[in-house]
Amino acid sequence: MTRVLTGRDGQSFTFDPGAFCLELLLTGGPGKYAYWEILHTPDDLADWLQDSRLAAIAPLDDLRVRPAELRAVKAFRDTMLSVALALAHDRDLPAGALETINDAAGPVPRPRIDPATGRRTWVGPVTGTQILGAAAHEAIDLLTGPHRDRVRECAASNCLLLFVDTSRPGKRRWCSMERCGNRNKVSAYRTRQT
């Protein structure tokens, strides 16, 4: 489940964050992450969700996000960023982070089978609170599950992308082989040549 991202240099590449709660970090954040901010209005969140891991489970075509819910999603996102950075760099979790995640772990989107098509849908409208709940439930799974020590920041020094390595060998270092992985190979090659 990948997303196509475009770097500041214009290069497009695919990136798999490995979890919805980490995919959310692609929408922006505080400080140096603010350059990537795209969630300005509730509709921005609704648009972004159309290509998300949640929409891959079933289409999110009936969404209702209120301004307060958008603020809550962004606050959760910023907490999740600090949690992911702490996990990736073996630091203590920031104070209050777990309370924020626990508080967000409320209702989640309700799945249903459409009797006409046999396909999975969500009971609509899916609310911003349910989106937040889905991210928080998953964050709790991540923090208490086998992949807790697999949260990583891309090993390239100029790359801010965070992901959970769900591969069996657990040796993923790069956001994307197409981008940072390949650049590293090229620079290692150049180093050997000189």
Interface region with Zn ion, contact rule CB under 5 A, candidates 8-16, 110-118, 141-149, 175-183: 175-183
Distance CA 117, CA 113 (A): 8
Nearer to Zn ion, 24 or 70 (CB): 24
Determine contact, residues 156/174, Cβ cutoff 8 Å. Answer: yes
**Residue 156 lies near Zn ion (rule: CB under 5 A):** yes
**Residue 180 lies near Zn ion (rule: CB under 5 A):** yes
Give min distance, CB of 183 to Zn ion, in A: 8
What value, to the nearest 5°, has the Cα angle with vertex 34 and ends 46 and 50? 20
**Residue 154 lies near Zn ion (rule: CB under 5 A):** yes
Give min distance, CB of 157 to Zn ion, in A: 10
In 98-159 the beta strands, taken as DSSP E runs, fall at 111-113, 120-122, 126-127, 151-153
Burial 23-34 (b: 16+ CB within 10 A, else e): bbbbbbbeeebe
| Interface map 47-76 toward Zn ion (x if CB under 5 A) | ------------------------------
Binding site for Zn ion (CB under 5 A): 154, 156, 159, 161, 175, 180
